[in-house]
Amino acid sequence: MYKTSTSSDTPDQRADPSVPAMTSPIRVDQPPRWRYAVPVLLAVVILIVFIPALDAGFVGWDDDDLILNTTRYRTLDAQSLEWMFTTSYTGHFQPLTWLSFTMDWALWHRETFGYHLTNVLLHILTALTFYFLTRRLLVAATNNTLSLRSAPALWSAAFAAALFALHPLRAESVAWVAERRDVLSGFLYVLSVLFYVRFVDAQDHGAPTGARRANYVMSVTHCALSLLAKASAMTLPLVLLVLDVYPLRRRRDRTVRRRRLLLEKLPFLILATLAAMRALIAQEQGGALQTWGTHGLWARLAQVCHGLTFYVGKTFCPTDLGPLYEIPGRAVLFGPMLWISVTAVSLSVVLAIAWRRRFPSLWATMAIYIVVLLPVLGLAQSGPQFVADRYSYLSCMGFAVLVAGGALGWLGGADQRRGLRRRLVVLTGAAGIVGMLAHATRLQADIWVSGRSLWARGVKVSPDSAIAHTNYGDALVVDRRLSDAVGAYRTALSLNSEDAVAHHHLGDVYRQMGRVDAAIYCYHHALKIDPNRFRACLSLAQLLIDRGHGRDAVTILRDGAQRHPDALELIDFLAQQLASHPDERVRNGEEAIAWSLHVNRTQGFGASRTLMTLASAYASAGRYDDAVLTAEQALSIAERESGPALAEVIQYRLSLFREGKPYRFRADR
């Protein structure tokens, strides 16, 4: 039924042997009637496999910072949009992702189901787009001798999409709300590639100029949108160049000059360069970038080699997957595994180059894999992770296409007498592989249901990770298992005694348990290691004030406020002490006014509690007319929004201000 290319073809024009060309044309006028059912079936299966994600909560691994502790994304106005398009919060530039959270908040507020549903739907859209893209790539690999709507092309593309979408490595990107940027950017990335391939097809088939131009513009537009969700699309220009060589074979097309190929990539390159620069700025501002002093050149090169082998290994053997693989010590980093990785990478590169004409699909797959992974291999190391499951979301798509191409070769390589039997064997084997992956993915998605299940898995997969044990302790605190949490934090500190987060959170637990001295010690130690932990500043100051050390508390609060002018809760507490502390050596009315005005200006003078602080500050400075007006404004807001308890407190202070008296904390407050 199929044969290889004729002898008149040049080596670069021959089809990949793993994807055979046809000897007789498939009837394109009668495509299979069930072709529309394939994407529907894919979507249904993906939804079923990721049902555990819909029951998941926020796991406390960036989710709380992004969704619960941040309020700027919850309204869609000029000020919020400006923040989304300028902020580097959590070390990422992701305005489009913030906008998707705005939509979720409008629909679901704190209901976690809706956030997870959006992630799953975006993943389904990515898989379906990848299905349509793979069909075109497989057809291009056969020199367009295979019909786009033929049964082998449909089944092979569906197999590739299922391998991608139902792999356990996808669970992190899909089931973790904080990784919304992965699935959103990934969908737009694949859509950009699809429009580019359509643009090339339109050129090859002499389509009208308007159709070609429309596809090209759509490709550039979706590249830009992908970059606004996450900087992953910075690799797109190089990926398109690889596709030009194979399977699109544009490099040998005499009608397409090399200069034209490069000029076509110029808009993508400009966008990618700008996005890469903005991403580095965001990571630096977010404190995520590791310095060359702490993670040197040789360590980064070792990390590159480990990373290149890690994702290949986990793709074909997806076991022992976890939420965090922390950068190991030098003994592991430069140990035997490094030389295994170096050998494997070197051998793979040599074979890909040696077989580039015989198996161009292998060369193209490896090139795309390396290009897409390059920004996250550690050369510009961001965060504590050595590798991460989510980094495989785009980079390992090529493996799915490669395997699907092999399946297509088997589907089309049999003669008429043996064709049906071979097709049954291939389809049965493909279904079995997809079924096993789907089962493993569902189990992996189950791990992300709660913080406790996630980090119980984390400490099992990464027992030497202090961060994993700290996060496990945090999850135990949420479940009110304080004694077990203390054990987890102590384990973390035994692995890394300079873990400021573990000291801080251990202090929080001791505070809840009533062990005040131990809590104060932990907070001091956390701030000694990392003075920028403003929540530790606030907690320590509160305990010191309870112990009668007001001046020490205010010193700590001032430092925290100067380091974090956006920490409004801390600054408001500082203003309260400066305005109303019973010790006159602590009070400073004018300074209290300055700090409180900063808080209220940021909030738009709309919060009754912070207005009450400002009124107390005015009174402390002797500005009783301003104190009365501000307290009356606070009282009006409290009566509308906060209930009678706060209104009663404000009314009491207002009566003092009207009498020309300041408010002071009571000893038994």
More confident residue, 238 or 151: 238
pLDDT at 8: 36
pLDDT at 286: 74
135 sits in which H/E element: helix 112-141
Across 28-50, average pLDDT:
84
Residue 414 has pLDDT above 90, yes or no: no
Residue 273 vs residues 143, 182, 327, 589: alpha-carbon distances, Å: 33, 19, 28, 50
Residue 22 has pLDDT above 50, yes or no: no
> pLDDT band at 7, cuts 50/70/90?
very low
DSSP assignment of 156-186 equals HHHHHHHHHHTSGGGHHHHH-GGGHHHHHHH
pLDDT at 329: 84
pLDDT tens string 51-83: 999 988 888 888 888 888 888 899 898 989 999
Percent of the chain at pLDDT exceeding 90: 65
pLDDT at 4: 32
The SS3 assignment for 2 reads: strand
489 within 8 A of 502, measured Cβ to Cβ: yes
The two most distant CA atoms of the chain are separated, in Å, by: 104
Residue 38 CB partners (closer than 8 Å, separation 6+): 131, 154, 155, 158
Report the alpha-carbon distance of residue 121 to residue 400 in Å, rounded: 21
Report the alpha-carbon distance of residue 337 to residue 663 in Å, rounded: 66
302 within 8 A of 336, measured Cβ to Cβ: no
579 within 8 A of 616, measured Cβ to Cβ: yes
Residue 364 exposed, middle or buried by CB count within 10 Å (0-12, 13-18, 19+): buried
| Least confident residue range of 21-30, 516-525, 624-633 | 21-30
553 within 8 A of 561, measured Cβ to Cβ: no
The one-letter amino acid at 502: A
Residue 545 has pLDDT above 90, yes or no: yes
Residue 331 vs residues 114, 305, 328, 344, 545: alpha-carbon distances, Å: 44, 16, 8, 20, 46
Q: Residue 388 has which token pair? A: 């991460």
> pLDDT band at 261, cuts 50/70/90?
confident
Across 345-358, average pLDDT:
87
Q: Residue 539 has which token pair? A: 């907690």
Report the alpha-carbon distance of residue 195 to residue 226 in Å, rounded: 14
| Least confident residue range of 7-21, 496-510, 527-541, 565-579 | 7-21
Residue 261 CB partners (closer than 8 Å, separation 6+): 241, 244, 250, 251
The SS3 assignment for 52 reads: helix
pLDDT tens string 173-185: 999 999 999 999 9
pLDDT at 84: 94
Count Cβ atoms below 10 Å from residue 254 Cβ, excluding itself.
Answer: 5
Across 107-111, average pLDDT:
90
382 beta partners: 289
Across 545-561, average pLDDT:
93
3 beta partners: 21
> pLDDT band at 6, cuts 50/70/90?
very low
Residue 10 has pLDDT above 60, yes or no: no
Q: What is the SS3 assignment for 484-510? A: HHHHHHHHHHHHCCCCHHHHHHHHHHH
Report the alpha-carbon distance of residue 513 to residue 102 in Å, rounded: 37
Count Cβ atoms below 10 Å from residue 569 Cβ, excluding itself.
Answer: 12
Across 203-211, average pLDDT:
80
289 within 8 A of 282, measured Cβ to Cβ: no
Q: Please provide residue 3's backbone torsions phi and psi, each rounded to the nearest 5 degrees.
A: -145, 165
pLDDT at 30: 57
Residue 155 has pLDDT above 60, yes or no: yes
More confident residue, 142 or 237: 237
pLDDT tens string 426-456: 888 899 999 999 999 999 999 999 999 999 9
Average pLDDT, the chain: 88
115 within 8 A of 142, measured Cβ to Cβ: no
pLDDT at 468: 95
How many angstroms separate the first and last alpha carbons of the chain?
89
Whether the bond between 384 and the residue before it is cis, its omega within 30 degrees of 0, is no
pLDDT at 419: 65
Residue 537 vs residues 209, 408, 527, 552, 558: alpha-carbon distances, Å: 63, 62, 7, 11, 9
CA neighbor of 284 nearest in space, from 92, 94, 98:
92
The SS3 assignment for 600 reads: helix
Residue 365 has pLDDT above 80, yes or no: yes
CA neighbor of 589 nearest in space, from 524, 501, 663, 517:
663
pLDDT at 179: 93
Residue 393 CB partners (closer than 8 Å, separation 6+): 169, 170, 173, 182, 183, 186
pLDDT tens string 488-512: 999 999 999 999 999 999 999 999 9
> pLDDT band at 669, cuts 50/70/90?
very low
pLDDT tens string 315-327: 999 999 999 999 8
Residue 630 has pLDDT above 60, yes or no: yes
614 within 8 A of 630, measured Cβ to Cβ: yes
Give me the long-range contacts of 236-242 (CB less than 8 A, separation at least 24). Answer: 236/189, 236/192, 236/193, 236/268, 236/272, 237/265, 237/268, 237/269, 237/272, 238/371, 239/193, 239/368, 239/371, 239/372, 240/193, 240/196, 240/264, 240/265, 240/268, 241/265, 242/364, 242/367, 242/368, 242/371
pLDDT tens string 286-312: 777 777 777 888 888 999 999 999 999
pLDDT at 31: 67
591 within 8 A of 610, measured Cβ to Cβ: no
Report the alpha-carbon distance of residue 34 to residue 31 in Å, rounded: 9
Residue 530 exposed, middle or buried by CB count within 10 Å (0-12, 13-18, 19+): middle
DSSP3 helix / strand / coil % (the chain, rounded to 5): 70, 0, 25
